[in-house]
Amino acid sequence: MSEHRIYPVFVPHSGCDFRCVFCNQSRITGAGDDPVRAIRRAVEAFDGAVGELAFYGGSFTAIPVREQEHLLMAAGAFLALHPSNTIRVSTRPDCLTPDAVERLVRYGVRTVELGVQSMDREVLLASGRPVAPDCVDPAVALLRRAGMRVILQMMTGLPGDTPEKSRATAEAIIALRPAGVRIYPTVVVAGTPLAEMVQAGTYIPHTVEEAVTLCAALWPLFHRAGIPVIRLGLCPTDALSDGGVLAGPYHPAFGQLVYARIYRALAMEALADHTGCSEVILGVAYGAVSNLVGQRRENVQFLEERLGIGRIRVCEIDVGTFEVAVVFIAD
């Protein structure tokens, strides 16, 4: 599924009967278009690249049933373009019932993303999200029985959150064995209650460095469990980049920052017995050089200074993804 194209359709805040303190989906998605028009545009733009028509924003299964069916029927035109095309929706775990899931299956939905955000009840309440963590397991089981592909979303740095609570959320998600996970560090978006909390001094957002460090610690948990992290950080939009984010760890290349930090840790481990060398060449998988080198060569400079190595070079070799090998050493 990862090679399939995503054709996004945004339904911001649709089906939301309360407002999470961090949420302003019109700003986050940068979209306010009529969803049926967006579906038609996806149909017109279809060039044979098999993929998913993905409804993002809101809680799809909490939208009034007639409106759900209106959107899903319109999406049928996309399904008709290729027998392997499917539909994806996003919703909350407390908004799933057997009837709702049966409806999704009937209209060609094959992937459901659940906004878990946190498995800590106090964090959810402090975030204006009165969703019980214990509804996640039954929701995942219901979807899995229907043959759905399940993706779970979590957030870090929410009000009341700690690195320990984020790790506990990650471990609880891993136990559910989803097909993939998204990790979103909390950013302060204009026009949200969280922005008011920052102004009042009742919420202090993570810095980019804090969020990168935390996500780089969480990512290996999913990697070792064989669960792909399909997104790190918000997808950059003009609305976010042009003043939509007031504070917090927003960065247009956040995922790359995290991967660079992971590679730096792998390099430190590989070089543990080679400190003080005059030159080292490290090998990584094809396409991964920039991750190890880091932005503005910050990883290479860090490793050289920390380990007392005169010069570090990086090349591509035939190794696995997220592996760092020592290719050459000059004492």
3-state secondary structure of 51: strand
Tens digit of pLDDT for each residue in 172-184? 999 999 999 999 9
pLDDT at 165: 98
**pLDDT mean across residues, the chain:** 92
- Domain ranges in the chain are 5-252, 260-330
Q: 260-330: which CATH architecture? A: 2-Layer Sandwich (3.30)
Between the CA of residue 129 and those of 192, 194, 237, 276, what are the distances in Å? 14, 13, 25, 52
Q: What is the DSSP letter of 61?
A: G
| Residue ranges, the chain, pLDDT below 70 | 1-3, 13, 15, 25-32
Cα(187)–Cα(245) distance, integer angstroms: 7
Cα(153)–Cα(136) distance, integer angstroms: 11
Query: Are the C-beta atoms of residues 285 and 275 closer than 8 Å to each other?
Result: no
Q: What is the DSSP letter of 90?
A: E
Query: Are the C-beta atoms of residues 246 and 190 closer than 8 Å to each other?
Result: yes
Query: Could you tell me the pTM of the whole model?
Result: 0.91
Q: How far is CA 318 from the centre of its chain?
A: 28
Both tokens of residue 270?
A: 């590989």
Q: Which residues are within 8 A (CB) of 119 and not within 5 positions of it... i.e. 6 or more apart? A: 133, 136, 168, 169, 172, 173
Tens digit of pLDDT for each residue in 125-137? 999 998 899 999 9
DSSP H/E element including 179: none
Q: What DSSP assignment string belongs to 119-174?
A: S-HHHHHHTT----GGGHHHHHHHHHHTT-EEEEEEEES-TT--HHHHHHHHHHHH
CATH code at 5-252: 3.20.20.70
Tens digit of pLDDT for each residue in 250-286? 999 999 999 999 999 999 999 999 999 999 999 999 9
